[in-house]
């Protein structure tokens, strides 16, 4: 499981000219799912993201997490995080989970985030989405549950 995490002042997802998910200050998560991912990867990723100390304390040090500040999370499915661009000019996506595998895992990821107490909004799996965000910092991190990454 891969995630690109962006600290944001605001984020939203629009599908067919309708805003379907929106947050204020918090974290935007672009989530990529691998065919071998399961509950262990979901648990690891949710815990890691929710507890990342990427918000500044009073001294300006990144020392606070989503939980510390009661911030929100916007979650967007992003199979292109598993693109292989090493050969040719067109990315290959064979390392990304197929929709029948990825969608249930995406739903479980959202459920796990919500059960943790974090206010969450999310995009629509498989839809063409317009994602808007205002970076805070900017702070952008790449996480990968694969220990060999």
Could you give the residue numbers annotated as active site?
78-80
Give CA–CA dist 108/97, Å, rounded.
15
What is the per-residue DSSP string for 51-74?
H---EE-TTS-EEE-HHHHT-EEE
Tell me phi and psi for residue 18, to 5 degrees.
Answer: -125, 125
Q: Using CB atoms within 10 Å of the CB of residue 123, give its burial: 0 to 12 exposed, 13 to 18 middle, 19+ buried.
A: buried
What is the per-residue DSSP string for 86-134?
SSSSS-B-TTSPPHHHHHHHHHHHHHHHHHTT-EEEE--TTS--EEEEE
């Amino acid at each position: 499981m891969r995630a690109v995490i962006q600290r944001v002042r605001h984020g939203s997802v629009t599908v067919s000219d309708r805003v379907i998910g929106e947050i204020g200050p918090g974290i935007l998560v672009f989530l990529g799912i691998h065919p071998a991912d399961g509950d262990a990867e979901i648990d690891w990723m949710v815990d890691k993201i929710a507890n990342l100390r990427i918000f500044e304390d009073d001294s300006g040090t990144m020392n606070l997490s989503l939980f510390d500040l009661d911030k929100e999370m916007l979650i967007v499915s992003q199979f292109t995080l598993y693109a292989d661009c090493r050969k040719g000019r067109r990315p290959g996506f064979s390392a990304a989970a197929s929709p029948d595998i990825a969608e249930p895992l995406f739903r479980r990821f959202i459920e796990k985030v919500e059960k943790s107490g974090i206010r969450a909004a999310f995009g629509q799996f498989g839809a063409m989405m317009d994602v808007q965000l205002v970076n805070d910092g900017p702070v952008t991190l790449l996480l990968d549950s694969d220990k060999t990454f």
